[in-house]
């Protein structure tokens, strides 16, 4: 019997790594185009772009592994069923439970491995990726100024109505700065942004006005019109890698999340009933942390749920090709992801409990057990 189980287990390994490679390539395609853009348009060094690529990879692995387990199960059991090996095993008195055991062990291995991965490598990679993106935004301010929103660079608050990414020409500009005298606000119809020696951001403005409110209460007000005006904003001239200690929920391990949840519980206990807005904010933040805590284990557990649903589907389809396996896997994972994201959004809004992110596992696992019992 051990020989038979090892044989079934070996059938999972090639399609698992083949499926994982294909999935990572698919997930990386969009990211690769963004990284290439950073090299050619934003002028980032190749070393920094490769570092961004490396820090992005763990998130993709966390999503791809459960789906690769599903593909491996569909391919392995589909081939065994297509070659009538499943039928031969049953004719020889081998119970479905015994056929299923090696697949479940395979899924259990990846559940344990990815649970550790999601609590060690993934949050640290997310943290370093966030820090690097913040450093890049300070290094290349012209690329970080987005149209239609207020952007802060140093002491300056900048609003740009329209921006040409290719030429850095801008329109409908507002620049506000607090000075020793008061608050200076500049309005201009159009202009252009350039970075000079990575030491300053220069905005050459046309057809505008300068409004200066002098004094604590703006007692004196000055207004000047201009045809051309240059604003020079100092920026960091050298590449500086800053170490930031603040972490968002996706940059924390399960232990860190539990520690933050305990702090929030203490803060919530101190809030009076009259402070309803503050109470709601704290409760939403606590739910957000609980959702991320559950996701660190529910997504790896999908490996086991996918095996439970994949085995009966593969036996019934009797097709062992990669095409059928990828088609079924993408459909299942799309439904899984919709329920996962939906549960996360509803939990963040306090509409459902945080453990709702386990619902897709219960759905596919329960459906798989039902089909196996019929089998």
pLDDT at 121 over 60: yes
Mean pLDDT value of segment 227-231: 89
Retrieve residue 252's tokens: 């924390």
pLDDT at 134 over 50: yes
> In percent, how much of the chain has pLDDT > 70?
88
Mean pLDDT value of segment 160-170: 82
Mean pLDDT value of segment 130-148: 69
Mean pLDDT value of segment 179-188: 82
Per-state percent for the chain, helix, strand, coil, to nearest 5 = 65, 20, 20
pLDDT, residue 48, reads 79
How many residues make up the chain in this entry?
375
pLDDT at 237 over 70: no
CA dihedral (346, 350, 355, 360) in degrees, to 10, reads -10
Comparing 65-69, 236-240, 282-286, 336-340, which segment has the lowest mean pLDDT?
Answer: 236-240
- pTM equals 0.71
Mean pLDDT value of segment 337-351: 87
pLDDT, residue 217, reads 62
pLDDT, residue 238, reads 44
Mean pLDDT value of segment 277-305: 89
β-pair partners for 213: 183, 221
Mean pLDDT value of segment 101-115: 93
Token pair 């299923």 is found at 100
* DSSP code for 41: T
pLDDT band (50, 70, 90) for residue 111:
very high
Query: Rounded distance, CA 248 to CA 12, Å?
Result: 37
Q: What is 54-111 written as a DSSP string?
A: HHHHHHHHHHHHHHHHHHHHHHHHHHHHHTTHHHHHHHTT--HHHHHHHHHHHHHHHH
pLDDT, residue 14, reads 92
Comparing 101-105, 139-143, 200-204, 225-229, which segment has the lowest mean pLDDT?
Answer: 139-143
320: helix, strand or coil: coil
User: Please, what is the average pLDDT of the chain?
Assistant: 83
Mean pLDDT value of segment 133-143: 63
| pLDDT tens readout for residues 248-276 | 888 999 999 999 999 888 888 877 766 67
Mean pLDDT value of segment 155-161: 84
| pLDDT tens readout for residues 55-97 | 989 999 999 999 999 999 999 998 888 878 878 887 877 777 7
pLDDT at 20 over 80: yes
Higher-scoring residue by pLDDT: 235, 172: 172
pLDDT, residue 338, reads 92
């Amino acid at each position: 019997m051990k020989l038979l189980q090892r044989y079934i287990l070996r059938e999972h390994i090639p399609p698992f790594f083949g499926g994982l490679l294909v999935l990572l390539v698919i997930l990386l395609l969009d990211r690769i185009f963004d990284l290439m853009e950073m090299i050619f348009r934003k002028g980032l060094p190749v070393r920094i772009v490769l570092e961004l690529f490396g820090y992005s990879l763990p998130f993709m692995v966390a999503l791809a592994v459960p789906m690769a387990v599903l593909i491996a199960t569909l391919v392995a059991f589909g081939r065994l069923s297509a070659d009538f090996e499943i039928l031969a095993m049953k004719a020889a008195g081998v119970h479905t439970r015994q056929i299923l055991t090696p697949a479940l062990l395979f899924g259990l291995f990846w559940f344990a491995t990815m649970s550790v991965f999601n609590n060690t490598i993934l949050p640290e990679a997310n943290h370093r990726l966030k820090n690097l993106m913040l450093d890049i935004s300070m290094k290349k301010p012209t690329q970080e100024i987005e149209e239609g929103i207020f952007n802060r660079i140093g002491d300056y608050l900048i609003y740009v109505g329209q921006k040409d990414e290719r030429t850095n020409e801008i329109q409908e500009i507002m620049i506000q700065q607090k000075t020793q005298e008061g608050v200076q606000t500049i309005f201009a119809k159009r202009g252009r942004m350039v970075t000079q020696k990575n030491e300053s951001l220069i905005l050459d403005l046309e057809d505008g006005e300068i409004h200066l409110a002098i004094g604590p209460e703006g007692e004196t007000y000055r207004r000047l019109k201009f045809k051309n005006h240059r604003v020079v904003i100092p920026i960091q001239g050298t590449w500086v890698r800053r170490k930031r200690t603040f972490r968002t929920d996706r940059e924390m391990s399960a232990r860190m999340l539990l520690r933050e949840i305990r702090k929030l519980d203490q803060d919530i206990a101190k809030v009076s009933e009259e402070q309803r807005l503050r109470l709601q904010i704290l409760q939403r933040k606590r739910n957000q942390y609980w959702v991320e805590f559950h996701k660190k284990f529910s997504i790896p557990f999908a490996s086991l749920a996918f095996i439970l649903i994949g085995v009966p589907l593969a036996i019934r389809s009797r097709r062992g090709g990669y095409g059928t396996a990828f088609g079924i896997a993408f459909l299942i994972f799309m439904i899984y992801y919709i329920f996962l994201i939906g549960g996360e959004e509803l939990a963040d809004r306090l509409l459902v409990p945080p453990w709702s992110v386990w619902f897709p596992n219960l759905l596919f696992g329960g459906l798989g057990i039902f089909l196996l019992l019929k089998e």
